[in-house]
Amino acid sequence: MLATTDMGWARGLAERMSPIEDIRLVRILGPEDLAGFLASRERAVMLLDISSPALLEGWLSMQGSLPPVVAFADRTETPLVRAAMKMGAVDFLGKDCSLRDVSEAIYHASSRLEASPELKAQPGDVHGKLVTVASLRGGSGRSTVACNLALALGRRSAKPAALWDLNFSLGMVDVLLDVVAPRPFSDLVAQLGQMDPELFSTFFARHRSGTFVLPAPRATGSQMVELTPTHLQALITAARATFPLTVVDTSATFSELDFLAVQSADLVLLTITPDLGSIRAAVAYLDLIAANHVVKSKNVVVLNAWTRGELSRRHVQETLSLPIWGEVPYERTLFNRAFNTAEPVVLGRPGSRSGKAFFRLADRILSMRSS
């Protein structure tokens, strides 16, 4: 929900975010409207105009009781910026800001909303689900699929999903989302013995979409973290107890840890690009999991960067004997921009063919979870 004093900006924002979600807009004309809205105890981000001294005085009188606020004004003056800071505003926007600036500020503010009580598994509840993205082929788009899927799951379910980068050598999740781990990964491993959901979540960066992100550690040499299968199993248990949905990005090396992430998953997304090398890598993957008695039926295919006419869906299905759950089209310019700006397609271009493909995939996963 977005409570705002400017319906023009809000309507433009709602159109930009479509079809991610149906945004409910609430107009706030003054402090009395705001007081009534706060009394309803509905969760929302506030987009408040502080240009008028009368309005500003009213907003300041409610300091401490406001939800996350993005303040804006028709001019950029030091007293107004200070007033925004005094209100505890997450961001301040001047008259020359773009709709994209507003969108980014709203996303940032939304991450400050208190986590939903449904975020953490409660005693007696079904434990959180683990979705692992895998491929033995480098360049198959595992990280791109994992990032966009995690964000789409959070938007579709209205509950933050978690994203975990298990590619310790060449992990790209932190680059694709422009996040930094808030605490050292070595501390996470060291505290596994006393881990609980509240402590576990503090090791995850909070992306502006609300997604919880655990980047791969960047340490080298003596600072490298040795993660054993026992450690990883404890981390998976913690993830299930903390988040409703966790997406795990693996590496092409398919190490012992990658295998454990596949073995422990409720669903495995096997990413395939339209070339024979990718198909052969998928066959090798299936042979590997069969030899280690991993259930094949929990594996599904995601066709990534797919170009019609090169390899057919029928050929893939007949070769692998796996269902195809998603087909992300080849849109090179779109994904290059997403990479260079650290704005995944589901945020920057949700209405594009690729954006819609990720949301369809998220919907299918969520329907599986609810059933």
Note the pLDDT tens digit of each residue in 195-235: 888 899 999 999 988 899 999 887 554 456 778 888 899 99
Question: CB atoms < 10 A from the CB of 104, how many?
Answer: 18
pLDDT at 175: 92
For 356, the token pair is 């819609």
Share of the chain above pLDDT 90, in %: 31
Cβ(304)–Cβ(145) under 8 Å?
yes
Helix 276-291, helix 313-320: angle, nearest 10: 20
pLDDT grade for 317, boundaries at 50, 70 and 90: confident
pLDDT at 263: 93
Cβ(283)–Cβ(137) under 8 Å?
no
Q: At 304, give phi and psi (nearest 5°).
A: -115, 145
pLDDT grade for 123, boundaries at 50, 70 and 90: very low
Most confident of 34-38, 146-150, 152-156: 146-150
Average pLDDT in the chain? 78
Q: At 268, give phi and psi (nearest 5°).
A: -120, 125
Closest CA to 299 of 250, 253, 346, 257: 250
Which one has a higher pLDDT value, 46 or 242?
242
Which one has a higher pLDDT value, 307 or 181?
181
Cβ(200)–Cβ(242) under 8 Å?
yes
Q: At 71, give phi and psi (nearest 5°).
A: -90, 145
User: What's the DSSP call for residue 166?
Assistant: -
pLDDT, average across residues 347-355? 89
pLDDT at 264: 92
Query: Residue written as tokens 């409720």?
Result: 266
Rg (CA), the chain: 22
> Which pairs from 94-98 meet CB under 8 Å and 24+ separation?
97/72
For 156, the token pair is 């579709």
Alpha-carbon gap, residue 215 to 62, rounded angstroms = 38
Alpha-carbon gap, residue 352 to 20, rounded angstroms = 11
**Poorest-pLDDT segment among 118-122, 167-171, 268-272:** 118-122
Closest CA to 250 of 189, 192, 186, 170: 170
3-state secondary structure of 364: helix
pLDDT, average across residues 49-70? 65
**Poorest-pLDDT segment among 53-57, 63-67, 71-75, 210-214:** 63-67
Question: CB atoms < 10 A from the CB of 196, how many?
Answer: 12
